[in-house]
């Protein structure tokens, strides 16, 4: 399901808002519009999703080939209207995503999307380093959020197992780990960076 994570995080972490996908518009002579996707990042883009703003799901990946650093590609024959875009880059340890909302595609227009390292989200991994205790809940919220929000663990995390979470806007987060025995473990001001996997070894 499509969710506008940047707008949700903006309510909690205004200071962490970063440049996402820079853009500008020029014109050509076709009836429909075109997106020029330019990869100015250090990672290979392997997914591009484009959906009307009122569509609930992202739909299929429409990128016809891998887009390596320094390359660009044209997404052509786009009907005029407002769209949301999602990009994906698969790293060695995690997948990272970038979003741009309310893209205006005009008749005969070319919309340029420039992707930078800072365009992407980061990831978080919780590793259970305890000898016998199980992690039964994990909460991750922007630093100084008033509540802990929803449990991010869909199942019990046993010793030596991990919980891998993706799609975090870069910034500082508070993490609460709930064990089946003993007190909770709380980590404050955990930094998550673009294109990076941050790991917490809990024990």
Q: Is pLDDT at 19 greater than 80 in this prediction?
A: no
Question: What is the C-alpha to C-alpha distance for residues 19 and 21, in angstroms, rounded to an integer?
Answer: 6
Question: What is the C-alpha to C-alpha distance for residues 10 and 167, in angstroms, rounded to an integer?
Answer: 14
Q: Based on the fold, state whether residues 72 and 9 are members of the same structural domain.
A: yes
pLDDT at residue 185, as a whole number: 97
Q: Is pLDDT at 28 greater than 90 in this prediction?
A: no
Q: Based on the fold, state whether residues 99 and 169 are members of the same structural domain.
A: no
**Domain carrying residue 198:** 122-202
Question: What is the C-alpha to C-alpha distance for residues 13 and 6, in angstroms, rounded to an integer?
Answer: 10
Q: Based on the fold, state whether residues 87 and 46 are members of the same structural domain.
A: yes
pLDDT digits (tens, 9 = 90+) for 79-112: 999 999 999 999 889 999 999 999 999 999 999 9
Residues of the chain with pLDDT > 70, as a percent, come to 86
Question: What is the C-alpha to C-alpha distance for residues 165 and 133, in angstroms, rounded to an integer?
Answer: 21
pLDDT at residue 4, as a whole number: 63
pLDDT at residue 197, as a whole number: 97
What's the number of domains the chain is made of?
Answer: 2
Examine the fold and report which residue of 96, 119, 142 is the final residue of a domain before the chain moves on: 119
Q: Is pLDDT at 179 greater than 50 in this prediction?
A: yes
> Of residues 49 and 31, which shows the higher confidence score?
49
Q: Residue 68 CB: number of other CB atoms within 10 A?
A: 11
pLDDT digits (tens, 9 = 90+) for 130-170: 999 999 999 999 998 999 999 999 999 999 999 999 999 99
What is the mean predicted confidence (pLDDT) over 177-185?
A: 97
What is the mean predicted confidence (pLDDT) over 10-30?
A: 41
pLDDT at residue 188, as a whole number: 97
Q: Based on the fold, state whether residues 84 and 136 are members of the same structural domain.
A: no
Cα dihedral 45, 47, 52, 56 in deg (nearest 10): -130
**Contact criterion met (CB below 8 Å) for 101 and 84:** yes
For 142, the 3-state DSSP assignment is: strand
């Amino acid at each position: 399901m499509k969710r506008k994570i940047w707008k949700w995080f903006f309510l909690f972490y205004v200071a962490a808002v970063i440049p996402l996908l820079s853009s500008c518009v020029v014109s050509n002579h076709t009836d429909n519009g075109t997106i020029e996707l330019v990869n100015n990042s250090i990672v290979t883009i392997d997914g591009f999703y484009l959906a009307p703003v009122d569509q609930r799901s992202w739909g299929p990946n429409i990128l016809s080939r891998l887009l390596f650093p320094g390359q660009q590609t044209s997404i052509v024959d786009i009907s005029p209207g407002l769209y949301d875009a999602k990009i994906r880059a698969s790293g060695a340890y995690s997948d990272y995503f970038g979003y741009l909302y309310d893209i205006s595609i005009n008749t005969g227009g070319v919309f340029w999307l420039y992707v930078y390292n800072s365009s992407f989200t980061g990831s978080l991994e919780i590793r259970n380093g305890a000898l016998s205790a199980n992690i039964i809940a994990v909460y991750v919220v922007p630093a100084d959020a008033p509540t802990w929000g929803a449990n991010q663990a869909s199942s019990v995390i046993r010793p030596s197992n991990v919980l891998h979470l993706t799609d975090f806007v870069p910034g500082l987060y508070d993490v609460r780990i709930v064990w089946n025995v003993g007190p909770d473990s709380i980590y404050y001001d955990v930094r998550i960076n673009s294109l990076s996997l941050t790991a917490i070894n809990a024990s």
